[in-house]
Amino acid sequence: MQIASLSIALVCYSEEPVQPWMARLAERICTTDHLNLIALIERDEKPGPAKMALSHRLWWQVESKVVAKPIKTATPRFDEIHPTLPTLRCEDKLGISELGADVIIDLTSLRGQGLDPTASSYGVWFLNFLTAATGTSSIRAIANNAPFYEVKLCRAAASGKSPRRVAGAVLNLKLFASLQHSFMCEKAVTLIVRELNRIKLTGAAHEEGAADLMPLKRPGLWTMTRYAFGFLRRTATRFIEVQASKLHFRPGEFFLKTSKTDMLTVDPATMQEHHSTANGYFADPFLWERDGEMFCFFEVYNYAKDTGYIAVGRLVDGALIDIEPAVQTDYHMSFPFLFEDNDGTLLMMPEVCSQKRIETWKCTSFPNQWERVQTVIDDVIAADSSLVKIRDDWWLFTNMSNDPFGEMSSELHVYKVDGPGLSELTPHPLNPVVFDTRTARNGGRVIHSDGAYYRMSQDNSRGLYGYGVNAMKIETISMDAYEESLTRKIEPDFQSGIIGSHHMDSRAGMVVMDVRKRVGGFRLRSSEKPQKQPRHSF
């Protein structure tokens, strides 16, 4: 049962301005047709120095100013209504009840305390990582080398009962805690809006059982010491990687592997390797058959020029030969997804996220002459897009970001489209349909095998881009729901010196994947000159 609209009230602190991420949440609510921001509710309590250990407080003050300054963006609709928006006190229980809010969202560290959970139709929501000692969750996760952090959206319960979990988002960890805290706040905006959209679509709030909230003590001296040493180690590692890049040692080099086998049973350890002979790497491979031959299109990344282009080569007797540029522009390109239109014309949808669009190219002379023909979506940060027909419907899978971080590895967005012409696109009402850094980002195309559809995806946990590759079986796909299950995961344990893999494709009994090494080894051409640290299309 769909609901026409929802009324939302936000709970903030009374003695400080609305934080930028909170303003962005308010803006998303104000600019969504079926969501209405009807009031702000103020609390006097707020995190302060008295609630933070001295070592935590001093470190946080310095790190926040140096590493993670608040990210400001325009919020014109919220700015317009803010001065006239009703503002209530948290203690005004009668006034809050008379608001008639559908959802009250507590953006403070008190997790709904002091608010009547029955004062709104779908309860009082809160976020698990907002604590009185700001950044506690981030510091502990990084100090403990956690593989990821789960942001939980929870619903407060009546006195004596446990909070319930509404939904969660699994995020990779950033290098620094202040940056991680800001990152979680921004991703929480998308999580909250998605769950509000779910109520509108289904007429009910999603619930996944008990919230299972672990009590978080403020970081003590030992935790802060471990975090500080880790901070120095991470900073040193990043510096070494930059210098190694300048010296042509290719840190984090991707290379290709191929084998005649099946993607669900292939053993990566036995596959044939294909490396760049220059100061670069090969990644994001896609296979294509033409006239009885197998071709491989892939990204060639140049460390010195800090950019990539699309190349193509032939696979003959296990060797990748005749490698040449296929599509090369003055901006970075990767992930050369290939498909045909209704007339059999070969098209490519490469990743060009630096241009803030999704675009397609047409092959005018196979395999190395292409021209750009269409902008599918403009003014969007998107990566690793692919198109597939599942039964009678066409779907566009892409990884997008609606936050200032521009991070695309944790959100999978789906669009229903009219076909390979991509002239009509309808976003899934529950985007992002997958909100998990372990499985969300596309790691290839959707492969049809034995009546099932498998979406190849990346595992970007453990603080690494490209830790592993997954085969996700699509169980349900419609404009009402999306469900998938993990069928196979490949982790970097099949070969020494390997730190990851993040892409796989299969066609006509041939499998290709990319694999990542910690250091690729010295490679240099006389025409190449190092400039700056490599970009990996985050």
Residue 8's Cα: distance from chain center in Å?
26
In 402-465, DSSP assigns E strands to 411-417, 425-427, 434-435, 442-449, 452-459
State the SS3 of 507-522.
Answer: ECCEEEEEEEECECCC
On the question of pLDDT at 390 being above 60, the answer is: yes
pLDDT in tens, 275-320: 999 999 999 999 999 999 999 999 999 998 999 999 999 999 999 9
Min mean pLDDT across 128-137, 323-332, 434-443 is at 128-137
Contact 350, 334 (CB under 8 A): yes
Mean pLDDT within 361-389: 97
Q: How far apart are the first and last CA of the chain?
A: 38
Closest CA to 130 of 189, 190, 181: 181
Mean pLDDT within 157-186: 92
Mean pLDDT within 116-130: 95
Amino acid at 240: I
Residues 412, 416, 420, 425: is their CA dihedral positive or negative? Answer: negative
The DSSP element (H or E) to which 254 belongs, if any, is strand 254-259
On the question of pLDDT at 68 being above 70, the answer is: yes
Min mean pLDDT across 132-141, 190-199, 470-479 is at 132-141
Contact 181, 405 (CB under 8 A): no
Mean pLDDT within 66-84: 88
How does 177-189 read in b/e, with b if 16+ C-beta sit within 10 Å? Answer: bbbbbbbbbbbbb
Q: Which position has the higher pLDDT, 66 or 475?
A: 475
Residue 503 binned pLDDT confidence (cut-offs 50, 70, 90): very high
pLDDT > 90: percent of the chain: 78
Residue 291, classified by CB atoms within 10 Å of its CB into exposed (0-12), middle (13-18) or buried (19+), is exposed
The C-alpha atoms of residue 42 and residue 15 are separated, in whole angstroms, by: 9
- Region of 306 please: left (phi>0), alpha (psi -120 to 50) or beta: left
Mean pLDDT within 136-155: 94
On the question of pLDDT at 215 being above 80, the answer is: no
Contact 166, 155 (CB under 8 A): yes
On the question of pLDDT at 402 being above 60, the answer is: yes
The C-alpha atoms of residue 412 and residue 394 are separated, in whole angstroms, by: 16
Amino acid at 147: P
Mean pLDDT within 498-525: 92
Contact 333, 308 (CB under 8 A): yes
On the question of pLDDT at 533 being above 80, the answer is: no
Closest CA to 198 of 447, 433, 367: 433
pLDDT at position 3: 85
136-143 helix and 177-202 helix, angle to the nearest 10 degrees: 110
What is the rounded (10 degree) CA torsion for 399, 402, 406, 411? Answer: -30
Q: Which position has the higher pLDDT, 198 or 208?
A: 198
pLDDT at position 51: 67
The two structure tokens encoding residue 4: 């026409």
Residue 1 binned pLDDT confidence (cut-offs 50, 70, 90): low
Contact 39, 201 (CB under 8 A): no
Backbone torsions φ then ψ of 424, nearest 5 degrees: -130, 120
Backbone torsions φ then ψ of 388, nearest 5 degrees: -155, 145
Q: Which position has the higher pLDDT, 246 or 371?
A: 371
pLDDT at position 192: 98
pLDDT at position 474: 98
Q: Which domains does the chain have, with CATH numbers?
A: 6-238 (3.40.50.12230), 248-517 (2.115.10.20)
Min mean pLDDT across 158-162, 396-400, 428-432, 485-489 is at 158-162
Closest CA to 296 of 472, 490, 468, 508: 508
Cβ neighbours, 10 Å, residue 286? 25
CA distances from 405 to 18, 180, 327, 528 (A): 19, 11, 28, 31
From the DSSP assignment, how many helices (H) and strands (E) are in the chain? 7, 28
Task: Provide the pairing of β-strand 103-106 with 393-401.
Answer: unpaired
20-30 helix and 177-202 helix, angle to the nearest 10 degrees: 20
